[in-house]
Amino acid sequence: MEKEETQINIKDKILNEIQSGDISMRPRFQFTLRLIALSALTFFILLISVFILTFISFSARISHHDELLGFGFRGFLAFLLVFPWFFLIVDIILIFLLERCLRNFKFGYRFPVFYLFLVLLSAVLIFGLGLDRGTSFNDSILERREHLPRPIGNFYNQANRPMIKGEGLCFCKILAIGNKKLIVEDSRKGGTVIDVLLPNDLPLEIFESLTIGDTVLIAGQERDGVIEAFGIRNIPNMHLERLEIREQSIYR
C-alpha cells in the first residue's frame, strides 16, 4: 500500500513539475550541436596527432637521423638518443584523448580499450608516415614556412635538428682521407677539425665513395676529440642546402 503511494507520488510529482514548466525538454538542436562539437573536436585531435607524427618522420628524414637505423644495433641506440621523445609523448597523449572522445560514440565503446588504442595508433602512424614519405606535404611547408602563420613556421624551423654535441654523432665535411681515417670539419663546433677513425668493417664501396669536400653523417664514440666511427654515410647533395640553413641558424 505504502509502496503504491510512493509510486503515485513520484509520477504525480514529475508530471506536476512538467506541467508547471519547472522541468522542460532540452531542444533537439542542443544535442545536435553537442554532437557536431564533439565530432569536430575528435577530428581536430586526429588531425593534430597525424600532423605531429608526420613532423616527427619529416624531422628524422631531413635531419638524416633515420639513416642511423642503417648502422645496426648501435645505430638504433643512437637513433633513440636523438629521437624527439617530447613530440612522441605529446602524440600519445593526444591519441589517448582521441580514444576518450571516440568512447562517446557507439562504435567507440564497443571496442576493448587496448584494441581501440592500437587501431588509433596504427592509423596515426600509417597516415603520418604516408603523408611524409609518400607526399611532398612537409617539404612544401618547409619551403613556404616564412609565409605561413608564425606558430607553424616556427615549428618547421625546428624540423632540422642537430646531432647532440659530444655524443659522437655529427655532420662533418671531409677535409682529408687517409688509411682507415678521415680528417673532417665538425659542423657542430663551428668548423673545428677532428679525426675520425673508420670502422674496420666499413664496406669498400662506401669507403671508395667518400671524396674530399663531401658532407658525411658520422656515428661513433667520441673520445678526446677523436670519433671512433661505427657508421658513416654520405649526405646527398639535395639536402646540403637545408643543412646549411639550419646550421647557420644554430651557430649564429
Partner 1 sequence: MNKDDTDITDESIVMLVQKGDKEAFGLLVDRYQNKLARYGRKFLSRVEDIEDMVQNVFISAYENIQNFDVTLKFSSWIYRIAHNTFVNALRKNTKSFLTIDFDTLLSHPVYDDPDIKEREQKEMRVLIDQGLEDISSKYREVLVLHYLEEISYKDIAEILQVPIGTIGIRIKRAKEALREKIDQKKI
| Cα 87 to Cα 66: distance, rounded to the nearest angstrom | 16
CB of residue 98 vs partner 1: minimum separation in angstroms?
17
Lookup: cell for 243:
643543412
CB of residue 96 vs partner 1: minimum separation in angstroms?
12
H or E stretch at 83:
none
Task: Rule CB under 8 A: choose which of 107, 112, 150, 252 binds partner 1.
Answer: 112
CA dihedral sign, ordered 48, 54, 57, 62: negative
Task: Rule CB under 8 A: choose which of 43, 44, 109, 251 binds partner 1.
Answer: 109
First-residue to last-residue Cα distance in the chain: 89
The reply to whether 147 sits near partner 1 by the rule CB under 8 A is no
Q: Tell me the three state secondary structure of residue 243.
A: helix
CB of residue 95 vs partner 1: minimum separation in angstroms?
15
Binding mask 6-35 for partner 1 (x = CB under 8 A): xx--xx-xxx-xxx---xxxxxx-xx----
CB of residue 21 vs partner 1: minimum separation in angstroms?
10
DSSP string, 121-155: HHHHHHHHHHHHHHSSHHHHHHHTGGGS-HHHHHH
Cβ-based neighbour number of residue 92 at 10 Å: 15
Task: Rule CB under 8 A: choose which of 96, 111, 155, 207 binds partner 1.
Answer: 111
Nearer to partner 1, 27 or 213 (CB): 27
Instruction: Give the range of 2-10, 37-45, 132-140, 186-194 binding partner 1 by CB under 8 A.
Output: 2-10
**Residue 64, phi then psi, degrees to nearest 5:** 65, 20
CB of residue 42 vs partner 1: minimum separation in angstroms?
16
Please give the residue ranges that form the binding site for partner 1 (CB under 8 A). 6-7, 10-11, 13-15, 17-19, 23-28, 30-31, 103, 109-115
